Amino acid sequence: MNTRQLLFVTYRNEQIDEGISYAIELAKAMAEDIVLLLVRNGRKASELVNDLMAGVAFAEAGEEQTALQLAAGEDREQPGSIDRKITEMIVASSKAGVRLEVQNMERDLISGIRTFLKGNQSIDKVVLSPAVTESEALTTKDLNRLVRSASRPIVTMTRQSVRAAREARAQKGAPMRYVPSAGF
Amino acid sequence: MAYKILIADDEEITVKHLVNALSREGNKAVGTSNGLDALRKIENDVYDLLIADIKMPGLTGIELLDRVKELSPETDVVIITGFGSIGSAVDAMKKGAVEYVTKPFDLDELILKVNKLRERRGLMRENLALKTYLGMDRQVSIIAKSKPMREILDTIEGIRESESNIFFTGETGVGKSLLARIVHFTSRRKERPFLAINCATLTEELLASELFGHERGAFTGAVRTKQGLVEIADTGTLFLDEIAEMAPNLQAKLLKVIEEGEFFRVGGTKPIIVDVRFIAATNQDVRSAISRGKFREDLYYRLNVMEIAIPPLRERKDDIEPLARYFLQKHLPKSNKKITEIQQEAMDVLRSYSFPGNVRELENIIERAIMLEKTSVITPASLPQSMKVFQIETVQPGKIKTIEELNKEYAERVVEFFGENRSRAAEALGISRTSLWRILKEE
């Protein structure tokens, strides 16, 4: 077990494993372990109603497990796929000689990360997955708040295509939501 | 480490008696009554000490001594001779025995001799470790093309005559321990020991024992007196990496060493006087740790006579190219490949990357690229895929705090001081409970 840990924050959804290979490479290079912090995605009201209605239908049909999964908002696309991906991430990490520990978080993204960091001094840096970096839920103000209070470097990951689109939009004069830069 | 003793004597009762007596003293003692069997044991295991009778079946003590000096020159040999055979004892000493005892011997006297040899062996081990360490780390060089790093080296050059303690801050992998070595090997203490320890890798008890040593019997397993790094580094430099992780008890003890130049070994009653220069380093925000009560402010100011903040690699991009070339040359010989250069396109990818793992990460990337590259130049294809798929940026904590943040930090400290009693904290701060709640809630 290494003394330092890297916190990889991502959403508990189908994109859960996006960016993990980078986190594993980085952790391996730095002889660190990984804490995978899974944030539950907030559902839109319409999605919540749909999920609950479907859940009720499954419950009435005696499919309690599926009903519970729908109510919890898990595995919307393919039941069990998230757990499978988590297992794959643990195996990939272990093959690279990096220990991966999974933590779940129910609270708001920023305050959740801050609370987690407060109690875990061994966390050396925070890596936000592409899904989190590009999420509408992470505003520039949020990121500023996190950077100020975290006392650790925050690593953001943006897909090159998304970045190019944003830059093109910015050149046309549209306001950019967030483009991180070194020495922020 | 247990002190291993082999006893070889033709009288089985003597062997049994000695094995029991020396084992009670904390040694790992085994015995045999046959010279050839003793030789077999030495061939199969490593012993610190052999106690051998001159007269034995199979192989005499002197013959055994000859073979031991060939097979295991590190093993000390004590020869037991019969009364009146001083000539054989002199012969044994000439052949390399360290001591001799004549039969009938006094057990207490023999134990005393064994203890002295054990102590000498311990000192030899420490001395060897020290020499190895010095030998390894004296070759220090640094690649510093960027302005911030050249300024840091100028600062270090400027303080080479100084004896002040130094505090390095900077992210993981920026090269804090390398710079600590440079400080030492350019200082007046360069001929003296330079020792380093990572305070985050050991438990509080182990770190205490490593730093301050312990007296024999101070705790279970403390079979002999051990010198700590503070004692061994006397007249030299001790580098304390990740100092912010040190437990409060140890911080107090370290403060005493810095302030008064003296300390006690764990379980010791005699003060030990030392002259050590301390260099400390951390990747954490120490001021925040102080405000949270996790790090002693007085220790911080004692260590931080001069603070040197090492910028992350992304803030000194001019160092990326020379460092990449240096790591290419460093790792190339192990690979059996004939790579001559790093392609400019690959260099551009490296320059545009933010290196959250700093120099350590760059070294890893180059080492990996050498393994993957099939041509004679490192191309972007052998760099990690994620560097090309994602734009990876590192955002570092700001150095200036807002008034709100300072207010909140102070309020948290006062609340902690009053044992989480917010009414008393609000009263002490001269604000209402509601205002305190608002400050603490501030994000």
Contact residues, chain A, for B294 at CB < 8 Å? 121
d(CA B36, CA B276): 51
Q: Is B7's pLDDT higher than 80?
A: yes
pLDDT at B400: 52
> Which amino acid makes up residue B137?
D
Q: Is B309's pLDDT higher than 60?
A: yes
Token pair in block for residue A116:
């987690």
Average pLDDT over residues B225-235: 85
Strand partners for A123: A5
Residue with tokens 């007196």: B225
Whether B148 contacts chain A with CB within 8 A: no
ipTM above threshold 0.85: no
Tell me the CA distances in angstroms from A163 to A11, A26, A150, B17, B393, one per residue in order. 20, 22, 25, 81, 12
Residue with tokens 């370290």: B254
pLDDT at A138: 81
What is the domain class of A5-171 according to CATH?
A: alpha beta
Q: Is B201's pLDDT higher than 50?
A: yes
**Average pLDDT for runs of 10 along chain A of length 184:** 85 89 95 92 66 83 80 62 91 94 86 86 92 84 81 88 68 51 36
What does the pLDDT look like over B414-433, one tens digit per residue?
A: 888 888 899 999 999 999 99
pLDDT at A144: 81
Token pair in block for residue A33:
């372990």
Contacts of A48 (CB under 8 A, 6+ apart): A73
Contact residues, chain B, for A149 at CB < 8 Å? 405, 443
Say if residues B369 and B383 touch (Cβ distance below 8 Å).
yes
pLDDT at B136: 47
Whether A167 contacts chain B with CB within 8 A: no
State the nearest Cα–Cα gap between B407 and chain A, in angstroms: 13
Helix axes B403-417, B433-441, angle to 10 degrees: 120
Token pair in block for residue B337:
């490949």
Q: Looking at domain B144-309, which CATH architecture does it have?
A: 3-Layer(aba) Sandwich (3.40)
d(CA B386, CA B404): 38
Whether B361 contacts chain A with CB within 8 A: yes
d(CA B23, CA A69): 64
State the nearest Cα–Cα gap between A157 and chain B, in angstroms: 5
Delimit the domains of chain B by residue range. Answer: 4-123, 144-309, 314-389, 403-441
Q: Considering only A97-111, B220-234, B294-308, which range has the smallest mean pLDDT?
A: B220-234
Whether B46 contacts chain A with CB within 8 A: no
- For chain B, the average pLDDT equals 87
pLDDT at A176: 46
Q: Is B83's pLDDT higher than 80?
A: no
Q: Which of B151, B401, B402 is nearest to B285 (CA)?
A: B401
Question: Do A160 and B389 count as a contact with CB atoms less than 8 A apart?
Answer: yes
Tell me the CA distances in angstroms from A86 to A74, A103, B366, one per residue in order. 13, 11, 30
Same fold, B144-309 and B314-389: no
Question: What residue in A sits closest to B367 (Cα-Cα)?
Answer: A29
State the nearest Cα–Cα gap between A52 and chain B, in angstroms: 34
More confident residue, B124 or B138: B124
pLDDT at B89: 79
Whether A22 contacts chain B with CB within 8 A: yes
Of all residues in chain B, what percent carry a pLDDT higher than 70? Answer: 92
d(CA A13, CA A18): 10
> Is the domain B4-123 a CATH 3.40.50.2300 member?
yes
Average pLDDT over residues B205-227: 83
pLDDT at B78: 92
Characterize the bridge pairing of strands B237-241 and B49-53: unpaired
What is the domain class of B314-389 according to CATH?
A: mainly alpha
Give B384-388's long-range contacts (Cβ < 8 A, gap of 24+): B384/A22, B384/A25, B385/A21, B386/A19, B386/A21, B386/A22, B386/A25, B386/A157, B387/B349, B387/B353, B388/A160, B388/B349
d(CA B412, CA B264): 36
d(CA B309, CA B313): 12
Radius of gyration, CA atoms only, chain B: 30
What does the pLDDT look like over B140-194, one tens digit per residue?
A: 678 888 999 999 999 998 998 899 999 999 999 999 999 999 999 889 988 788 8
Q: Print burial letters for B65-98: b (CB count within 10 Å at least 16), e (below 16).
A: beebeeebeebbbbbbbeeebeebbebbeeeebb
Whether B356 contacts chain A with CB within 8 A: yes
A107 secondary structure, DSSP code? S
A76 secondary structure, DSSP code? S
What does the pLDDT look like over B365-408, one tens digit per residue?
A: 999 999 999 899 999 999 999 888 888 989 876 655 667 777 88
Delimit the domains of chain A by residue range. Answer: 5-171
- Which member of A19, A121, A155 has the closest CB to residue B394? A155
